[in-house]
């Protein structure tokens, strides 16, 4: 698969963990009046919300022409989840620090 064929999916996976996952996680902690979750708690809650996107990740048909992009999507989903768990997604870490500092 050429890079230009997966460009839009790459951009989505660059943004979804922190834009969707962290935003929803932050609101969840705020509504539950948890001002200082641990980094691990914040990461896990971010992943919970990020995983809610799975129906979209799995939405392409089982047609052969979609197989490469579907494999790439599964790879990126797993990769992003692991980066979040390991504290290696800088945007998630930035959102965590902002929430704890300004919650």
Q: In 10 A of CB 41, how many CB atoms? A: 14
DSSP 36: -
Token pair, residue 37, equals 């979750």
Indicate whether 30 pLDDT > 70: yes
Say which residue the tokens 């992009």 belong to: 69
Q: CB-based contacts of 62: which residues, under 8 Å, 6+ apart?
A: none
Q: Is the pTM of this model over 0.85?
A: yes
Indicate whether 13 pLDDT > 70: yes
Indicate whether 1 pLDDT > 70: no
Over residues 62-93, the pLDDT tens digits come to 999 999 999 999 999 999 999 999 999 999 99
């Amino acid at each position: 698969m050429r890079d230009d064929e997966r460009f839009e999916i790459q951009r989505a996976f660059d943004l979804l963990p922190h834009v969707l996952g962290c935003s929803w996680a932050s609101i969840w902690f705020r509504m539950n009046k948890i001002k200082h979750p641990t980094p691990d708690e914040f990461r896990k809650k971010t992943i919970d919300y990020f995983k809610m996107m799975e129906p979209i990740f799995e939405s392409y048909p089982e047609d052969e022409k979609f197989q490469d992009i579907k494999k790439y999507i599964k790879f990126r989903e797993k990769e992003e989840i692991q980066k979040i768990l390991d504290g290696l997604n800088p945007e998630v870490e930035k959102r965590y620090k902002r929430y704890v500092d300004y919650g």
